[in-house]
Amino acid sequence: MNGKDRMSLHFSRCSYRYGRKVQVLDRLDLQIDGRCTVLLGPNGAGKSTLMGVGASWLTPTDGTVVWRHLDPSKRSERTAYRKAVGWLPQSIKPMPGLTVRENVAYIGWLKGMSKSAAWSESAGALERVKLSKLSERKSHQLSGGQLRRLGIAGALVHQSEIMLLDEPTAGLDPAQRQVFRDLIAGLSEDVRIVVSTHQTEDLGDLYDCVVILEQGQVRYQGDTAGFLSLAAADSPEGKRAEAAYTQLIRQEV
């Protein structure tokens, strides 16, 4: 295994189904090793399921997922895997009654940190997401955008090497989305980022890799420039990502 492989999130023949009949992922092979990767796909394509499997929140029906040399299916490696792989699910549910900083420290403790280390590192994590001034506020008093930043701080507190963000800007207004874009751009300097989203605006400015998922399979994987080149030549500059996506995914209305 070379150095590049060791810094990859590698899904090998991964399948996942709900119950006996609903197959969401079907023997999917995917290696994510970009600095900042966007995961696109229509509703029901399996994006959230893939992120849940990558976070080891869901256990694949078949196949494996590995970050570097860590395999969460092995009990001896599960804690280290979950500490290295941070996750922001679509729904953020902080512990009621705790302050913002207490919630972040609690997440660190759940990830295997000592209480003192989690408390110490929580201050820096909140600083990185620009929530330090709200550290003593009760978490239920946060806005939707602030709550998502709290979730990212929770993924940072245990010094994640890669962060999986599932629809982090869903339901946010344009100003809040811009705050998130700036935050992700800054974090991707030293943490691998994977973002699942439906939004294609600013794709070329933020992400260096694109993965398209359709019906539980990888429809496209490549660098952002290659993806944008799929757009029709007469596509407006601001609509090239949307046009390229449409070329790959023909959804029935």
- Reported in sequence order, the residue ranges of 19-71 that DSSP labels E, i.e. its strands, are 22-32, 36-40, 62-67
- For residue 47, what are the CA distances in angstroms to 16, 137, 150, 180, 209? 12, 33, 22, 20, 16
| pLDDT digits 0-9 by tens, 48-79 | 999 999 999 999 999 999 998 899 999 999 99
Amino acid letter, residue 97: G
Q: What is the pLDDT of residue 70?
A: 95
Q: What is the pLDDT of residue 1?
A: 39
Task: Please state, for a pLDDT cut of 70, what percent of the chain lies above it.
Answer: 96
Amino acid letter, residue 193: I
Provide the 3-class DSSP secondary structure of residue 154: helix
Decide if 228 is inside a domain.
Answer: no
Tell me the pTM. Answer: 0.89
In Å, how far from its chain's centre is CA 17? Answer: 21
Secondary structure of 158-189 as H, E, C letters: CCCCEEEEECCCCCCCHHHHHHHHHHHHHHCC
| pLDDT digits 0-9 by tens, 11-32 | 999 999 887 778 899 999 999 9
- Which structure tokens are listed for 179? 């705050």
- For residue 29, what are the CA distances in angstroms to 15, 78, 84, 198, 227? 10, 21, 21, 22, 19
- Asked if pLDDT for residue 219 goes beyond 50, the answer is yes
- For residue 121, what are the CA distances in angstroms to 82, 88, 138, 233? 17, 18, 19, 49
Decide if 248 is inside a domain.
Answer: no
Q: Which residues contact 121 (CB under 8 A, 6 or more apart)?
A: 105, 108, 113, 157, 158, 159
Decide if 229 is inside a domain.
Answer: no
Q: Is the dihedral of CA 231, 237, 241, 245 positive or negative?
A: negative
Decide if 65 is inside a domain.
Answer: yes
Decide if 174 is inside a domain.
Answer: yes
Q: What is the pLDDT of residue 65?
A: 96
**Exposure pattern of 27-60 as b/e (b: 16+ CB <10 Å)?**
ebebebebebbbbbbbeebbbbbbbbbbbbebeb
Q: What is the CATH number of the domain that holds 8?
A: 3.40.50.300
- Which structure tokens are listed for 156? 């940072």
Residue 99 is part of which domain span? Answer: 3-223
Helices (H) and strands (E) in the chain, counts: 10, 9
Average pLDDT over residues 186-202: 86
Q: What is the pLDDT of residue 96?
A: 85
Q: Count how many domains the chain has.
A: 1
Decide if 236 is inside a domain.
Answer: no
Decide if 31 is inside a domain.
Answer: yes
Decide if 233 is inside a domain.
Answer: no
- Asked if pLDDT for residue 121 goes beyond 60, the answer is yes
Residue position matching structure tokens 């976070």: 55
Under DSSP, the state recorded for 70 is: B
